[in-house]
Structure 1
Amino acid sequence: MAEQQKNEILLIESQYFPPISFYKTLIEGEKVRFERMEHYQKVSFRNRCYIAGPNGMILLSVPLVKGKNQRTVMKDVRISNLEPWQQLHWKTLTSAYRRSPWFEYFEPELEMLYEKEFEYLLDWNMACFEFANRALGFAPHVEMTDTFEKDYNNDTTILDLRDKMVPGQVPENPVEYTQVFGERTGFLPNLSILDLLFCEGKRGLELLK
């Protein structure tokens, strides 16, 4: 059974610094295929992530050209850089995690990422994914779809979780660890992978297994 799980390919939409549940699922198979030929769906992790703040969860959302109600193929969705969203997101991350054990360790590379302008949401999401993988010490096999398939019911090697991980959803057995504002807010489950990285560093990979 374990051998079969190792051969599974996680099929999922690209996400902005994905939630911890994404990584916990991915680590079981170590293979991911990102869906880039779908139409953009609003209210998803495609352009948003959640971090921990002193008063609870904080939403970070990437603004898009044509807005959130567009029906554009994901690979063609453009970021709206008319407003300094990266600067605002970085300021929020710094404010929320400056006191965390590992923020300063990851700060130089992450700050450079937030200073680089991206035209397409998919490219931004992939850059975030690659940063998180390096930070965790994790190197999954990565693929992209070239065509859109509505379902993969006949392919037992595919674990199709497209639009299955959505904001507000809490997994049955969330990864638990000490958070920066935990004593004040209580534990906030399934935040962005950034929260786990800043709080636990490389140990985050062990906690995901």
Structure 2
Amino acid sequence: MSSTLSDKNLLIDLQCVPSISYMKMLIEYSRWLFDINLYHEKKSYANRFYLAGPNGRILISIPLEKGKHQHTPIKDIRIYNRESWQAHHWKTLVSAYRRSPWFEYFEDELRVFFEKRYAFLVDWNRDWLEWIKKVLGIEAEIHFTDRFIPPAEAAGLAAVDYRGRIQPPPGNTDPEIRYHQVFEDRTGFLPDLSILDLICCEGRKARSFLQGTAENG
């Protein structure tokens, strides 16, 4: 990847604890424009992400309020909080990464996401994105659309339209992004998990893997 960031906007959908391929795309741009007026799609990355477990991929899905399958913009999607989904997902995350090199370092910060009550999915997703930016040392600008942007208008915004291009699972099996995973000796390497997997395994060095500058030996 070029060391010079694109001066265009990246117009893209807002993922939940983004996948590695998604983050690799984001870091190529200095301005991120998230279309939160897109309709929610069932089984998209909007409310789900994948971790690595001893038996393979682990799907983490954020429960949504009734009506999630109807035509509802992402910005209006509410999280279903009448069950202890956060406690359950936190236990899963701890079980998966307590043996990883960097989990202990980030544990207190990560726990916050599973203790704070979120009403809207977009707020959960946005807070994760801000945390990931901080961990990776990314200084890109974050913006959200106030309306749906038709594809024909993207060029007028000096934007590269990448909405809906990265879908689970996995979005991209880029062979260049290889690192040692916790259970790799049992499952083999699992490509394009959540960026959280890369961060727990490689810490702040995760950015160099996204940029293709890490020494993967």
The TM-score range, normalised by the shorter chain, is: over 0.9
User: Which range moves more in the overlay, 61-70 or 44-53?
Assistant: 61-70
Provide the C-alpha distance between the structure 2 equivalents of 1:170 and 1:164, rounded to a whole number of angstroms: 8
The answer on whether the counterparts of 2:32 and 2:142 sit within 8 Å (CA) in structure 1 is yes
Rate the CA distance shift 1:60–1:185 in 2: closer, same or farther, 3 A: same
Provide the C-alpha distance between the structure 1 equivalents of 2:139 and 2:202, rounded to a whole number of angstroms: 18
The answer on whether the counterparts of 2:63 and 2:79 sit within 8 Å (CA) in structure 1 is yes
Using the TM superposition, give the Cα deviation of residue 83 of structure 1 relative to its aligned residue in structure 2, in angstroms.
0.7
Match of 1:154, SS state, is helix
Provide the C-alpha distance between the structure 2 equivalents of 1:4 and 1:127, rounded to a whole number of angstroms: 27
* Correspondence list, 1:1-209, <5 A: 6-151=6-151, 152=153, 154-155=155-156, 157-171=158-172, 173-174=174-175, 175-209=177-211
Rate the CA distance shift 1:44–1:104 in 2: closer, same or farther, 3 A: same
User: Which range moves more in the overlay, 174-183 or 4-13?
Assistant: 4-13
Match of 1:11, SS state, is strand
- In the superposition, the TM-score normalised over structure 2's length comes to 0.90
Rate the CA distance shift 1:198–1:17 in 2: closer, same or farther, 3 A: same
Provide the C-alpha distance between the structure 2 equivalents of 1:169 and 1:90, rounded to a whole number of angstroms: 22
User: Which range moves more in the overlay, 108-117 or 62-71?
Assistant: 62-71
Unaligned runs of 5+ in 2: 212-217
Provide the C-alpha distance between the structure 1 equivalents of 2:116 and 2:138, rounded to a whole number of angstroms: 23
Moved over 2 A (4+): 2-5, 152-157, 169-174
Match of 2:28, SS state, is helix
Provide the C-alpha distance between the structure 2 equivalents of 1:170 and 1:13, rounded to a whole number of angstroms: 14
Amino acid at match of 1:205: R
Unaligned runs of 5+ in 1: none
The answer on whether the counterparts of 2:170 and 2:191 sit within 8 Å (CA) in structure 1 is no
Using the TM superposition, give the Cα deviation of residue 68 of structure 1 relative to its aligned residue in structure 2, in angstroms.
3.8
What is the percentage of aligned positions where both structures have the same residue? Answer: 46
Provide the C-alpha distance between the structure 2 equivalents of 1:8 and 1:163, rounded to a whole number of angstroms: 18
Using the TM superposition, give the Cα deviation of residue 157 of structure 1 relative to its aligned residue in structure 2, in angstroms.
2.6
Using the TM superposition, give the Cα deviation of residue 170 of structure 1 relative to its aligned residue in structure 2, in angstroms.
4.3
Cα displacement string for residues 59-105 of structure 1 (whole angstroms, at most 9, x for unaligned residues)? 00000011541211111110000011111111100000000000000
Rate the CA distance shift 1:123–1:207 in 2: closer, same or farther, 3 A: same
